[in-house]
Amino acid sequence: MASEGLSEAEAARRLEEVGPNLPPRPGRVSLVRRVANQLRDPLIVVLIAAAVLTIVTADFADAAVILLVITVNTTVGVTQEVRADRAVEQLVALAAPAARVIRGGVEREVGIDTVVPGDLLVLAEGEIVAADARLVQAVAFAADESMLTGEAVPVDKSAVPAGEPGGEVSAGTVVVRGRGRAVVTATGAESAMGRVAALLAPVPGLTPLQKRLAGVARTLALAAAVLCLVVLVLGVVRGQPVELMVLTAVSLMVAAVPESLPAVVSLALALGARRMAARQAIVRRLPAVEALGSVTVIATDKTGTLTEGAMVVQKLWTVDGEADVTGLGYAPEGRVERDGMPLDPERAPDVAALLRACALCTDAALVPPRPPTPNGARGGGDAAIESWTAAGDPTEAALLAAAAKMGLTRTALEREWPRVGEVPFDNARKRMTTVHREASGRFEVICKGAPEVVLRAPITSDDAATLRRAERRADEFARQGYRVLAVAAGQRSSLPAAGGPSPGLLPEVEEGLRLLGLVAIADPPRASAAATIAACRQAGLTPVLITGDHRATARALAVQVGIGGDDPVVMDGSDLDPERVPDPRDCAVFARTNPEQKLGIVDAYGRRSQVVAMTGDGVNDAPALRRADIGVAMGRRGTEVAREAADLVLADDELATLVTAVEEGRRIYANVRRFLVYGLSGGAAEIMVMLVGPFLGLPLPLQPAQILWINLMTHGPPGVALGAEPAGADVMRSPPRPPAERILGAGLWQRIPRIAVVLAAVTLGVAVWAASTGRPWQSMAYLTLATTQLGVALGSRARPGTRDNPFLLVAVGASFVLMLAGLYVPLLRELLGTEPLALADLGLVCVVSFAGYLAVRLDRRLHSERSATASTARGTGRNEHA
């Protein structure tokens, strides 16, 4: 039957026949194209020109070294590109959305790629349509088709009989109102979204950090070119061959600029995103990785983020008395009791009427535990579910569970009171209304929603004293941290118009209802919530609660988890002027907020130079998620609209995961700055040696091939390894970096020349001493300059003295061995123009090279002390760990 959807076997067969429901993907970049892209780099072009020059002048030794450097740099660049692309592909797979379908009469959630033609989709507000389909059932259904048509106004949709035109919904469109079911007609490349995707050519772009670094590299290249020109002129003036000095200048310029920086950063971002995914934080947009390091405010919602997200009805109130509900989670296990005695519908008709109305006025379902089905990955099967779960809104699922504890199931109730009309819940009305036909032919109208809406005339017709009692009890429940719903019902002999109620007729349908009672629903704080909020504060992040719940409920939770202290300032959404939002820094909790007010709060933070990471899960959260600096959606309970609008998806719905993502963002940014200190100080030292050396009696301190070999060995494996450094021990005990801070800001550019001077002074000192004593001074200068830079790499570790990041130790060791090979391996010695050193001279170089390690460690301490003093003076407490 169509209402039961496809069987699992048939779905698997069709999936094998038509393929996965995925848009056309761009072809992979070929290896030849990747190599060509690397060779187009300006600095590589300069090296190629230098290689041609050396071959023309028959300087084959230098030509061989240059070609080796080009080959190694290109290989490393291509390898990093491939690794980054693979990391991003894995993230795309992790972030793939899901769809709800009916298979074999059972509603279940499957990967969107397993949806096939003929599947029966279950669509509700906030979901993205998985494939082109035809509506067979629709209630107050409207879809946002702007991503296909450009039309911003939602389009109303209705079901039509098979074979008739109309009722089509397209893949990629968003359900903004109502609910429905639709039979899939086209998937993958055959769908509307697939046809559009086939026309698009993806344009790869750089992240903001990569763009800033590219600008820094251009500036450095220009400065290096000027200085290298000075070296060239000085050499020629002193009688050095023009060809040799041109080659020296070119080699020096290439060595002075860390040309591998963009590739290193790209790989660091991609691998950082993979590490986040391993910790349940799935990055949808790569720039979010770097932006996380600047987050100053975490604006969190309540349900499922700070709380368990498993709603449980615990108390019921009617005019005749109160009742307690036992049991945990969504399992219909427990009982409804009054004064410790279990209740049934006959003994407590008032409670039974309340729970019956709650069960009928819902769109959710309870999903029982089930074992895994075979071929879950490809055939649309599911993983094992060990406990009862909610399909749909968790609050409505809690109502169903409470009703089932009194023996009232929605399936049985709807057979006796079938639904004939409804208006779904929306944030503006703050209520949901359904209409049911009784056996007698009369109709019953049920309305549930926020107490401040339902407990008002003309919706309820109860006397003023009863409504005041209900309002007082609702306030008491809210202050105790409960989410409170009011439920009312009334009978009608007929409906206002044939076909059931519609939004235009709601005032007539909902008037004069009788109050059935209140439902108090608990959503306890997560066990980790208080510790997570404390970690936010320690990291200099300001946690703020923004919720649609009652202010008393929101305040109670804030006190429990530590937001705003023992007496948090709470602002109600009704107090927010749409044209002007007060300074949000004066408030810790925003309650009863609507989507427009959430946008205003985010904008208000932005105007005050705050960087906001905002969490959300619903359709109403999507605009604010898009506007926030970092939009964070919930992976388990979030709507597809929220996930599509977000930059980051928390697969486990844990706020603590966002804090770990912030730590990862800070770690990546610190490692980029660490690489800059290392690479630029080494390049600057090489230029200093070449500039000052001739004035100390060293005609040509280093040969071109030696410069290139040093650059290859120091900027290669050790430089990449620095990008994998762990976070510093105190990285989450310091405030975030200012968003406007330059990549070389916070004193970083001052550190580079200080360290470079030490490296150059040690190198020149060894060379001058060796020349005066008749030793092979150029070879000693070559090894000293290289090993002092390797010492800087070791001194730049985030956690020196530990076994963290062993790859750096291996990389430094390998580079050192290859530097020695340049002295003792005949072929390399001939190419580089070096001489072997005596054991005593080698030992001397190794000892003095320790100055590189000491220089970066002492400078780091000096820099930290200066930063701390300046930060204390500014009152920020900022520290620097790069």
Kindly write down the DSSP assignment for every residue of 635-703, as one continuous string. SSS--HHHHHH-SEEETT--HHHHHHHHHHHHHHHHHHHHHHHHHHHHHHHHHHHHHHGGGGT-SSSS-
Edge-to-edge strand list for the sheet holding 514-522 = 341-342, 336-338, 321-325, 312-318, 514-522, 483-492, 443-449, 431-437, 419-426
pTM of the model: 0.67
**Contact 387/366 with Cβ under 8 angstroms?**
no
**Contact 176/154 with Cβ under 8 angstroms?**
yes
Note whether 359 and 471 are same-domain residues.
yes
CA distances from 478 to 313, 563, 741 (A): 13, 18, 44
**What are the phi and psi torsion angles at 562 (to 5°)?**
95, 20
The C-alpha torsion from 750 through 753 and 757 to 763, rounded to 10°, is 140
The pLDDT value recorded for residue 867 is 57
Domain boundary among 626, 653, 680: 653
Q: What is the CATH number of the domain that holds 840?
A: 1.20.1110.10
83 located within any domain: no
DSSP 525: B
Range of the structural domain that residue 581 is part of: 283-307+526-653
The pLDDT value recorded for residue 375 is 46
835 located within any domain: yes
Task: Return the residue matching tokens 């894995």.
Answer: 90
- Residue count of the chain: 882
801 located within any domain: yes
Considering Cα of 230, then 231, then 235, then 238, what sign does the dihedral take?
positive
DSSP 293: G
Note whether 289 and 273 are same-domain residues.
no
246 located within any domain: yes
**Blockwise average pLDDT, block size 10, the chain, 882 residues:** 78 89 67 77 62 64 67 69 58 60 85 88 83 87 68 72 78 79 87 62 52 66 74 78 73 62 65 79 76 86 77 92 89 90 91 96 82 46 61 84 93 91 77 89 92 90 93 90 91 66 55 94 84 89 86 86 87 72 79 82 85 80 83 75 78 85 86 84 86 83 83 79 80 78 75 92 95 93 94 88 85 93 91 91 93 88 62 47 50
Task: Return the residue matching tokens 């301490």.
Answer: 861
88 located within any domain: no
Note whether 556 and 624 are same-domain residues.
yes
CA–CA separation, 494 vs 492, rounded Å? Answer: 5
**Contact 707/854 with Cβ under 8 angstroms?**
no
Domain boundary among 199, 228, 248: 199
Note whether 749 and 669 are same-domain residues.
yes
CA distances from 838 to 184, 314, 709, 777, 845 (A): 79, 84, 21, 12, 11
Closest to 678 measured CA to CA, from 794, 774, 587, 784 = 794
Q: Is 442 left (phi over 0), alpha (psi -120 to 50) or beta?
A: beta
Note whether 14 and 153 are same-domain residues.
yes
Per-position b or e across 131-162, b if 16+ CB within 10 A of its CB: bbbbbbbbbbbbbbbeebeeeeebeebebeee
The pLDDT value recorded for residue 94 is 47
Relative orientation angle of helices 529-538 and 551-561, to the nearest 10 degrees: 70
At residue 243, what is the residue type? E
CA–CA separation, 849 vs 763, rounded Å? Answer: 9
SS3 at position 393: coil
621 located within any domain: yes
Number of Cβ atoms within 10 Å of the Cβ of 86: 12
Q: What is the CATH number of the domain that holds 493?
A: 3.40.1110.10
Q: What is the CATH number of the domain that holds 586?
A: 3.40.50.1000
The widest CA-to-CA distance across the chain, in whole angstroms, is 115
CA–CA separation, 334 vs 327, rounded Å? Answer: 5
Q: What is the CA radius of gyration of the chain?
A: 34
- 157 has which bridge partners? 141
Relative orientation angle of helices 704-715 and 806-824, to the nearest 10 degrees: 160
Q: Which two tokens stand for residue 231?
A: 């070296």
Note whether 477 and 594 are same-domain residues.
no
Q: Which two tokens stand for residue 117?
A: 């033609």
CA–CA separation, 141 vs 154, rounded Å? Answer: 10
Note whether 265 and 320 are same-domain residues.
no
In 693-805, where does DSSP find H-type helix? Answer: 704-715, 717-722, 748-772, 777-795
Element (H, E) at 10: helix 8-18
**Contact 209/672 with Cβ under 8 angstroms?**
yes
At residue 478, what is the residue type? A
**Contact 420/497 with Cβ under 8 angstroms?**
no
Note whether 192 and 242 are same-domain residues.
no
Note whether 374 and 496 are same-domain residues.
yes
CA–CA separation, 734 vs 727, rounded Å? Answer: 12
Give the total number of structural domains in the chain: 4
The 3-state secondary structure of 369-417, one letter per residue? CECCCCCCCCCCCCCCECCCEEECCHHHHHHHHHHHCCCCCHHHHHHHC
Note whether 290 and 429 are same-domain residues.
no
Q: Is 82 exposed, middle or buried (0-12, 13-18, 19+ CB in 10 A)?
A: middle
Q: Which two tokens stand for residue 531?
A: 């510790």
Which residue is catalytic, options 119, 301, 382, 629? Answer: 301
Q: Is 463 one of the annotated active-site residues of the chain? A: no
Number of Cβ atoms within 10 Å of the Cβ of 199: 7
**Contact 183/118 with Cβ under 8 angstroms?**
yes
Domain boundary among 653, 684, 707: 653
647 located within any domain: yes
Helices (H) and strands (E) counted in the chain, each on its own, are: 30, 26
Note whether 300 and 323 are same-domain residues.
no
61 located within any domain: no
SS3 at position 420: strand
CA–CA separation, 49 vs 46, rounded Å? Answer: 5
Note whether 451 and 381 are same-domain residues.
yes
